[in-house]
């Protein structure tokens, strides 16, 4: 996922590895963060694949290596962004894509969000099924983690339904 996030950042402007790390700290750190030890090798790989290109520069005495996204890189980025995501509490890829939705036409964003909401509801239904099975033999705390899961799914479904409404109202009626 890191490589796509880097491509996403470079979609907006050319940046150095250091800049990307800074940007992450001020924007995606809440749901996705990476260390220099993964960012620099990722940039190297992306350049080897011909998705980005580097330009070395010296700015106020400091050596900096700026990366620019190439056409092939943009293509790669879109083919990733375009695919709707399912809910997953482990990898929060849905938030990562949401972060870059400005690059997707509004109709596609709406379709993505609708798909995602359905996926959250599916997840909720699975937890409801699970509850029936374990309700009796789970202790208070084990049961509480399940309740948390269900309450969180309800929260998320509601939150994204609201986001969908906001987007629709913005241009619609």
Binding residues (CB under 7 A) for DNA: these are: 1-2, 16-19, 33-38, 40-44, 59-66
CB of 44 to DNA, least distance (A): 6
Assess contact for 66 and 55: CB atoms under 8 A.
yes
Report the alpha-carbon distance of residue 11 to residue 15 in Å, rounded. 10
Q: Which does 2 bind (CB under 5 to 8 A by kind): DNA, a copy of itself, none?
A: DNA
Q: Which of 15, 17, 56 is nearest to 34 (CA)?
A: 17
Q: Which one of 13, 41, 134, 135 is in contact with a copy of itself (CB under 8 A)?
A: 134
CB of 40 to DNA, least distance (A): 4
CB of 33 to DNA, least distance (A): 6
What dihedral angle (degrees, nearest 10) is formed by the CA atoms of 100, 106, 112, 116?
Answer: 90
**Span 8-67, contacts to a copy of itself by CB under 8 A:** 26-28, 30-33
The smaller minimum CB distance to a copy of itself, of residues 28 and 119, is found at 28
Report the helix count and the strand count for the chain, using DSSP H and E.
Answer: 7, 3
The smaller minimum CB distance to DNA, of residues 62 and 137, is found at 62
140 is an interface residue for a copy of itself by CB under 8 A: yes
Q: What angle do CA 47, 1, 151 make, to 5 degrees?
A: 165
């Amino acid at each position: 996922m890191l490589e796509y996030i880097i491509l996403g950042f470079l979609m907006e402007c050319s940046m150095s590895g250091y800049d990307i790390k800074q940007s992450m700290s001020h924007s995606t750190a809440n749901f996705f963060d990476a260390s220099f030890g993964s960012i620099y090798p990722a940039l190297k790989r992306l350049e080897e694949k011909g998705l980005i290109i580097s330009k070395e520069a010296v700015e106020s005495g400091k050596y900096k290596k700026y990366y620019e996204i190439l056409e092939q890189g943009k293509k790669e980025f879109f083919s990733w962004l375009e695919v709707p995501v399912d809910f997953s509490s482990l990898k929060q890829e849905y938030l990562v894509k949401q972060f870059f939705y400005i690059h997707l036409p509004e109709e596609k964003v709406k379709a993505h969000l609708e798909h995602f909401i359905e996926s959250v509801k599916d997840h909720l239904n699975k937890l409801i099924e699970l509850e029936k099975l374990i309700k009796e033999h789970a202790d208070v705390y084990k049961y509480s983690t399940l309740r948390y899961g269900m309450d969180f799914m309800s929260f998320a479904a509601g939150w994204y339904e609201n986001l969908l409404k906001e987007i629709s109202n913005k241009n619609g009626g």
